[in-house]
């Protein structure tokens, strides 16, 4: 957040949603992140107006011109996936930044967690989902809270998603490697007879629901 340029621009207004399960309040977490000890600009000096709103898994909350739902996903320390839609609209976008689809035993998820997660995603026009690892890499990172490319494609196909956006790239991956992963995901979709569109998240990308 401290490097999100629009929060330094006067006239902007943001509502930041976060889990009720945090040990501290959401605004306290952000203020601590921008403490003078670690960052040169204090939270109080930001030019944009910033509001905070908390949400728990299973809740549906209304924002200005949209509604948001949350779902408990699998990540060390807990995390939420979000689904945003316009009231009465036909499209929705699901945003799941950190989620390990595998290893449910580590997170002690309730039986049927995957099915409930699919219900949460079903019908969304766009799914932005964690795709940090290849299948081979995942074997060395079980329990780290992140999914494989194949996990995300499987979810998107099973949930009837229109567009899957690969997100949370492994930081050391080059652009050429990312292009290769995207091509592999598209080939996987074709092999299963799906019509899913696959994109790679990139800075400046605009998504239309």
Query: Is the separation of the CB atoms in 52 and 15 below 8 Å?
Result: yes
Pick the CATH number of 56-200 from 2.60.40.1660, 3.60.15.10, 3.60.9.10, 1.20.1510.10: 3.60.15.10
Position 24 scores a pLDDT of: 65
How many other C-beta atoms lie within 10 A of the C-beta of residue 112? 9
Rounded to whole angstroms, the Cα distance separating 74 from 60 reads 20
CA 6 to chain centre: 20
Position 2 scores a pLDDT of: 87
Per-residue pLDDT of the chain in tens (209 residues, 90 and over written 9): 889 999 999 999 998 888 877 666 788 888 888 998 889 999 999 999 999 988 889 888 887 788 889 999 999 988 899 999 987 767 899 999 999 998 878 888 888 999 999 999 998 999 999 999 999 999 999 999 999 999 999 999 999 999 999 999 999 999 999 999 999 999 999 999 999 999 999 988 998 87
How many other C-beta atoms lie within 10 A of the C-beta of residue 57? 17
DSSP state of 133: B
CB proximity list for 144: less than 8 A, separation 6 or greater: 76, 100
Position 169 scores a pLDDT of: 96
Residue-range domain boundaries for the chain = 1-55, 56-200
**In degrees, to the nearest 5, what angle opens at C-alpha 76 toward C-alphas 111 and 115?**
25
- Phi/psi-derived region of residue 193, left when phi > 0, alpha when psi is between -120 and 50, beta in every other case: left
């Amino acid at each position: 957040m401290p490097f999100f340029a629009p929060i330094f621009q006067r006239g902007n207004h943001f509502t930041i949603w976060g889990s009720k399960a945090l040990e501290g309040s959401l605004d306290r977490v952000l203020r601590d992140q921008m403490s003078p000890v670690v960052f040169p600009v204090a939270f109080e000096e930001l030019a944009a107006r910033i509001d905070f709103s908390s949400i728990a898994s299973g809740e549906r909350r209304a924002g200005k011109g949209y509604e948001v739902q949350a779902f408990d996903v699998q990540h060390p320390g807990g995390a939420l996936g979000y689904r945003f839609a316009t009231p009465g609209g036909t499209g929705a976008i699901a945003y799941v930044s950190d989620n390990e689809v595998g290893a449910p035993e580590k997170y002690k998820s309730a039986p049927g967690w995957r099915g409930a997660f699919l219900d949460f995603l079903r019908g969304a026009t766009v799914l932005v989902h964690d795709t940090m690892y290849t299948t081979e890499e995942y074997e060395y990172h079980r329990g780290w809270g992140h999914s494989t490319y194949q996990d995300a494609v499987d979810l998107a196909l099973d949930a009837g998603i229109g567009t899957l956006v690969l997100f949370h790239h492994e930081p050391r991956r080059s652009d050429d490697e990312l292009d290769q992963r995207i091509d592999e995901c598209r080939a996987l979709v074709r092999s299963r007879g799906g019509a899913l569109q696959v994109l790679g998240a990139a800075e400046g990308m605009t998504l239309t629901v």
